[in-house]
């Protein structure tokens, strides 16, 4: 991601894995005519499970000698000639592989962070305050939603982040109300048992159905409700609201198509009458829930019934 982290580049490395430790065996060869007649072991070594014996090439045109090792209790006890070779003037060097050997040699791919690449705006551009428009973030909004509102394209989310000096989506961008509450509780170990009861649920698919949202709200209410507790208020907060044109469809689950038609009928009726006479069956048909507004200021200049009066003696 452009601002979450630096880009990663895939590199190939050759990896050699070794096994075990031990002492290197040492030996020298003995000539017989122009070939190797025998090999004398000066140090049998230790830690061997297998060993490869090779000889240096002859000085003159000839055949390189070959042999194999006999191993007993991790040490090379004998080197037996398979082919004495020919064309040697001096005794060839005996090359014995190390006791640990090469267990495995392979090529692996690793994704390494490229710390030399990142995205920044020029300082002179950021210092030009006349190029900005101020925007108040609504709870639950993401950089994509803001970019859609301001630029008409959610792909410009990086502009929202970088112009505000934000580079980590998870740490720098403002938390939602519920995320902030959880952060405070987790950080300061606040005892919320007697103060705050809440649940967070994410729908498996985008929905604008009051039926779906109501069913989910009732389910969460049953989970948090505790008999005998005194409750002052309760509510439901819906976040991550997106335009219907940006709805992400789900491969296995989807909204009941009947809900869409029903919600459309209810909305059309409300637009025509201004009254919410059509309600869900789990709602109180005789009561419309509103805010208490017990300390609301008087509308002296907009409502004739609340015009300011003065008592004269």
**Cβ-based neighbour number of residue 186 at 10 Å:** 9
Given pLDDT bands bounded at 50, 70 and 90, which one contains residue 18? Answer: low
What are the φ/ψ torsions at residue 234 (nearest 5 degrees)?
A: -145, 150
Residue 177 predicted with pLDDT over 80: yes
CB 60 within 8 A of CB 89: yes
* Exposure b/e, 19-50, CB count within 10 A at least 16 = b: eeebeebebebebeebbbeebebeebbebbee
**CA 102 to chain CA centroid, nearest Å:** 36
pLDDT (0 to 100) of residue 3? 43
Q: What is the mean pLDDT of residues 8-20?
A: 64
Sole residue written with tokens 């509102």: 149
Helix (H) or strand (E) holding 224: helix 210-224
Highest mean pLDDT among 104-108, 130-134, 210-214, 246-250: 210-214
What integer pLDDT is reported at residue 82 of this predicted model?
92
**Cβ proximity of 153 and 147 under 8 Å:** yes
Whether the predicted pLDDT of 35 surpasses 80: yes
Question: Averaging pLDDT over each range in 19-23, 80-84, 209-213, 271-275, which range is the top one?
Answer: 80-84
Give 4's pLDDT tier (boundaries 50, 70, 90): very low
Lowest mean pLDDT among 34-43, 79-88, 101-110, 271-280: 101-110
DSSP state of 288: -
Q: How confident is the model at residue 101 (pLDDT cuts 50, 70, 90)?
A: low
Residue pLDDT, tens place only, 238-277? 888 888 777 777 666 777 778 878 888 888 888 888 777 7
Please tell me which of 30-44, 121-135, 191-205, 209-223 the model is most confident about, judged by mean pLDDT: 30-44
- The 10s digit of each residue's pLDDT in 145-163 is 998 988 898 888 888 888 8
Mean pLDDT of 110-122: 68
Task: Judge whether residue 139 has pLDDT over 80.
Answer: yes
Tokens of 27: 């030996």
Instruction: Specify the pLDDT at position 288.
Output: 66
The model's pTM: 0.31
94-96/53-55 β-pairing: antiparallel
Whether the per-residue pLDDT at 2 is higher than 50: the answer is: no
**Residue 28: what pLDDT?**
94
Residue 41 confidence (pLDDT): 94
Say how many residues make up the chain: 313
More confident residue, 132 or 27: 27
pLDDT score of 15: 66
Domains of the chain, by residue range, sit at: 20-100, 119-163, 199-313
Which pLDDT score is estimated for 33? 84
Report in angstroms the alpha-carbon separations of 120 from 6, 134, 145, 172, 229: 12, 21, 22, 16, 53
- End-to-end, the C-alpha distance of the chain in Å comes to 75
pLDDT at residue number 1: 40
The overall average pLDDT reported for the chain is 79
Look at residue 79 in the predicted model and tell me its pLDDT. 94
| Whether 178 contacts 200, CB under 8 Å | yes
């Amino acid at each position: 991601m452009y601002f979450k982290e630096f880009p990663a580049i895939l590199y190939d490395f050759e990896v050699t894995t070794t096994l075990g430790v031990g002492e290197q065996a040492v030996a020298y060869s003995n000539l017989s005519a122009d070939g190797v007649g025998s090999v004398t072991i000066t140090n049998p070594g230790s830690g061997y499970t297998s060993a490869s014996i090779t000889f240096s090439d002859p000085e003159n045109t000839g055949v390189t000698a070959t042999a194999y090792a006999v191993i007993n209790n991790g040490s090379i006890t004998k080197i037996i000639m398979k082919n004495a070779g020919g064309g040697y003037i001096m005794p060839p060097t005996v090359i014995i592989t190390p006791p640990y050997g090469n267990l495995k040699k392979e090529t692996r791919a690793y994704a390494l962070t490229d710390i030399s690449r990142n995205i920044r705006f020029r300082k002179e551009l950021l210092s030009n305050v006349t190029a900005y428009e101020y925007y108040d973030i609504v709870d639950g909004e993401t950089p994509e939603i803001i970019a859609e509102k301001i630029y008409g394209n959610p792909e410009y989310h990086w502009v929202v982040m970088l112009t505000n000096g934000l580079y980590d989506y998870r740490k720098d961008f403002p938390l939602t109300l519920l995320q902030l509450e959880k952060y405070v509780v987790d950080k300061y170990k606040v005892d919320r048992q007697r103060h705050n009861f809440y649940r967070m649920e994410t729908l498996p698919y985008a929905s604008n159905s009051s039926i779906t949202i109501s069913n989910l709200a009732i389910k969460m209410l049953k989970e948090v409700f505790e008999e005998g507790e005194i409750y002052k208020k309760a509510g439901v907060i819906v976040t991550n609201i997106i335009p219907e044109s940006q709805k992400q469809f789900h491969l296995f689950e989807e909204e009941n198509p009947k809900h869409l038609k029903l919600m459309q009928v209810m909305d059309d009726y409300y637009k025509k009458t201004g009254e919410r006479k059509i309600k869900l069956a789990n709602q109180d048909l005789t009561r419309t829930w509103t805010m208490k507004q017990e300390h609301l200021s008087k509308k002296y200049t907009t409502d004739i019934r609340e015009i300011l009066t003065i008592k004269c003696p």
